[in-house]
Amino acid sequence: MLEHVPAWLGGLLRDRRAGHAKLVAADPKIRLGVDTIDLTSPAFAPGGRLPVRFTADGEGISPPLLWGDVPEGTASLALIVEDPDAPAANPLVHAIIWGMPADERRVAEGAIVADGAGGPDGNVGRNSFLREGWLPPDPPTCHGEHDYVFQLFALSEQVDLGASPGRSAVVDGIADRVLAAGVLVGTYSRDQPAAVGAAEAGQVGTGAIATG
């Protein structure tokens, strides 16, 4: 992954980022209403730094999540985690879960793993590395702070997204079915100084070396 990208290159790419406007929750197809879901984690505060164990610098397991009540009429829940600060054309997808029961209120620590055909508690989709499960945060050194945006959607239907869906399938599948959404942001960065003689760190990247 991108832990091996030189600090000087991370600095040069610092101004290239996908952008928060490209998150799934901001997609015009989704049409969010006024209802919100209280989405939190016992492992980090909203807007706080992710503990190392959830990143590529640690164990790389997925963090625990908790949420409150969902609207009446909710048939299922879907979760997508994206990094809009990745040096790429679109946010980097770190996790997808869909088909969670409407009465579910948590995702346990380390629970976002490849599940093959899925199970009764939800199905796991493909991250941006085209694998099922949690893609640990792995921002380039000196690229600055990255937001990791956990987006939970309450859906009016139990949607069928097929086997191991990716981001596009999620957007198409939940479009016009979102009753409410919850958003939680955790941050992470590798801000070691660039090597002597290298350009100073700036902000963003190119799609060719996307990582986040």
Sequence ranges of the domains in the chain: 2-195
pLDDT band at 134 (very low <50, low <70, confident <90, very high): very high
Structure tokens at 15: 């101004």
| Residue percentage of the chain with pLDDT more than 70 | 80
pLDDT band at 117 (very low <50, low <70, confident <90, very high): low
Give SS3 for 186: strand
pLDDT at 5: 47
Q: Which residues pair with 77 in a beta bridge?
A: 100, 154
Choice between 15 and 186, residue whose per-residue pLDDT is larger? 186
Dihedral sign, Cα of residue 131, residue 52, residue 23, residue 122: positive
> In degrees, to the nearest 5, what angle opens at C-alpha 110 toward C-alphas 104 and 114?
85
> How many Å apart are CA 25 and CA 89, to the nearest integer?
17
What is the overall mean pLDDT for the chain?
84
The mean pLDDT value for 129-149 works out to 92
The mean pLDDT value for 72-94 works out to 94
pLDDT at 190: 87
Instruction: Name the strand (E) or helix (H) holding 173.
Output: helix 167-174
Output the CA–CA distances (angstroms, integers) from residue 145 to 3, 6, 15, 89, 204, in the order listed: 14, 16, 12, 18, 10
Inter-residue contact 33 to 176 (CB < 8 Å): no
pLDDT band at 192 (very low <50, low <70, confident <90, very high): low
* The model's pTM: 0.83
Is the pLDDT at 166 greater than 80? The verdict is yes
For residue range 52-69, what is the model confidence (pLDDT) as tens digits?
A: 999 999 999 999 999 999
- Look at strands 106-107 and 92-101 and give their pairing: unpaired
Structure tokens at 54: 């959830």
With tokens 């730094």, the residue in question is 49
| Residue percentage of the chain with pLDDT more than 90 | 67
Give one DSSP letter per residue of 65-85, joined into a string: EEE----TT--EEEEEEEETT
pLDDT at 200: 34
CATH number of 2-195: 3.90.280.10
Beta strands in 11-133, from DSSP E residues, in sequence order: 39-40, 65-67, 76-83, 92-101, 106-107, 123-124
